[in-house]
């Protein structure tokens, strides 16, 4: 006779909020033991969850979560050569099955893979996400994948924003958690039926990029700023302009740019962000304009060799971690100088390396360029990603059109 798993609504343990704990009950040879599920319900909610056809979203979500917990318990039971409550508890509560049902452990394994693949930047971002998840969980007990419910995710979002973190940051962290959850589904740790990241259940927030782009007049002021010739101020200003003029090229790609990628009248390169994840990633082609040539001629390293980096930002033989440190230092110094210049010429917006990319996209849009062309120029895989860059522009245009409706007023 094998062990069985079902649920017990423990009405002996009334909580302060009027709910009772739902416990996993394991029965073997007429013996029973109970394990907390972290799900607490009112009597009415338990009746609805126990019904065959629940209608409310909360009830459906809870039923799906309980189903995932039950299936996980059954997998542990089936994996045991000989069932004992002690061995079941060990595997169920600590995630020591062949595929551990432990969010933190799977997160850490993925981080190790990223590090071994040399993806230091991505690993750094995922590490921040893991740190936030562990801080919110705030328990010595393992965090099973079945605990990642819409309620848990909404609670995490509110906890993060309550600490002053932006929705953009929350979105970054939760997208990393979603990747880990998807891996757990692929590895058979959790069932797809319990998947919490959907329009009906929980949508990861996206922060809107409002008014990050500069106007052409702002760019002209920075371009004409009288920096001392040969100074660091001039160098970082020029490389910022290089990013703007070269399709909003991001700092890592600028640092990695070699002379072999300058092909006649074009610069052609594949974004570092997509070269590992997209085998068929299309190279970006940038016209080598007079202004771009001038920046390369002035600040490019000599002698010119095919594998030589154009700008003295990175050097050969760096580890991924060392490269990440160099790029971050380059971004920091660029931001310091362009902010000083922007303030000096009367540009009120916060100007950073990120602003160059947004300005490239928005100014092209204002010139009448199709969104599809802008998307291709930025190296986006989806036009919807490009539209996020253009949100602030669209809002400004809406206001202009609205004001035009009252143009007859004197």
What is the set of domains in the chain, with CATH numbers? 1-97 (no CATH), 99-207 (1.10.150.130), 216-402 (1.10.443.10)
Please name the helix (run of DSSP H) or strand (run of DSSP E) that holds residue 5, with its range, or none: strand 4-9
pLDDT at 191: 79
Tell me: cis bond preceding 303? Omega within 30 of 0 counts: yes
Dihedral sign for Cα atoms in the order 88, 92, 95, 98:
positive
Question: Rounded CA gap, 170 and 156, in Å?
Answer: 8
The 8 Å CB, 24+ separation contacts for 249-252 are 249/286, 249/357, 250/353, 250/357, 251/327, 251/330, 251/331, 251/334, 251/353, 252/121, 252/327
Residue where the block lists tokens 């040399």: 118
Structure token pair of residue 98: 């062949």
Question: Nearest CA to 7 among 311, 27, 17?
Answer: 27
pLDDT at 393: 56
pTM over 0.85: no
> Are 338 and 222 within 8 A, CB to CB?
yes
Number of H helices, E strands in the chain: 17, 6
- Mean pLDDT per 10-residue run, the chain (410 residues)? 88 90 92 89 90 77 83 82 86 62 88 82 90 92 89 94 91 94 83 86 75 85 95 96 93 94 90 66 86 95 92 91 92 96 93 91 84 81 71 56 54
Residues in the chain: 410
pLDDT at 41: 92
Question: CB atoms < 10 A from the CB of 205, how many?
Answer: 16
Question: Rounded CA gap, 64 and 196, in Å?
Answer: 9
Question: Rounded CA gap, 114 and 117, in Å?
Answer: 5
Question: Rounded CA gap, 212 and 223, in Å?
Answer: 18
């Amino acid at each position: 006779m094998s062990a069985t798993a079902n649920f017990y609504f423990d009405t002996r343990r009334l909580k302060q909020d009027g709910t009772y704990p739902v416990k996993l009950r394991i029965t073997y040879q007429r013996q029973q033991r109970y394990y907390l599920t972290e799900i607490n319900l009112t009597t009415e909610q338990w009746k609805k969850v126990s019904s065959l056809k629940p209608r409310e979203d909360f009830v459906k979500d809870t039923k799906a979560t309980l189903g995932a917990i039950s299936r996980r318990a059954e997998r542990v039971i089936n994996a045991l050569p000989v069932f004992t409550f002690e061995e079941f508890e060990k595997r169920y509560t600590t995630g020591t099955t062949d595929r551990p049902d432990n969010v933190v452990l799977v997160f850490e394994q993925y981080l190790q893979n990223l590090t071994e693949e040399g993806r230091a930047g991505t690993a750094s971002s995922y590490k921040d996400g893991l740190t936030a998840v562990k801080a919110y969980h705030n328990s010595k007990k393992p965090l099973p994948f079945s605990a990642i419910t819409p309620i848990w995710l909404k609670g995490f979002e509110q906890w993060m924003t309550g600490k002053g973190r932006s929705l953009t940051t929350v979105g970054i962290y939760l997208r990393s958690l979603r990747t880990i959850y998807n891996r757990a589904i692929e590895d058979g740790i959790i069932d797809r039926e319990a998947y919490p990241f959907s329009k009906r259940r929980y949508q990861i927030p996206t922060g809107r990029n409002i008014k990050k782009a500069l106007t052409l007049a702002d760019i002209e002021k920075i371009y004409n700023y009288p920096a001392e010739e040969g100074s660091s101020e001039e160098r970082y200003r020029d490389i910022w302009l290089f990013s703007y003029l070269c399709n909003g090229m991001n700092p890592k790609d600028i640092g990695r740019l070699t002379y072999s990628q300058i092909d006649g009248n074009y610069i052609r390169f594949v974004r570092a962000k997509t070269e590992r994840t997209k085998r068929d990633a299309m190279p970006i082609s940038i016209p080598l304009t007079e202004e771009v040539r001038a920046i390369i001629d002035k600040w490019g390293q000599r002698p010119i060799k095919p594998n030589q980096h154009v700008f003295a930002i990175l050097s050969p033989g760096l580890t991924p971690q060392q490269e990440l440190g160099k790029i971050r230092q380059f971004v920091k110094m660029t931001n310091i100088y362009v902010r000083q210049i922007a303030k000096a010429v009367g540009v009120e917006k916060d100007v950073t390396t990120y602003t160059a990319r947004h300005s490239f996209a928005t100014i092209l849009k204002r010139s009448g360029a199709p969104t599809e062309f802008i998307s291709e120029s930025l190296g986006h895989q989806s036009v919807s990603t490009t539209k996020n860059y253009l949100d602030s522009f669209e809002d400004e245009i809406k206001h202009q059109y609205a004001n035009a409706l009252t143009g007859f007023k004197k």
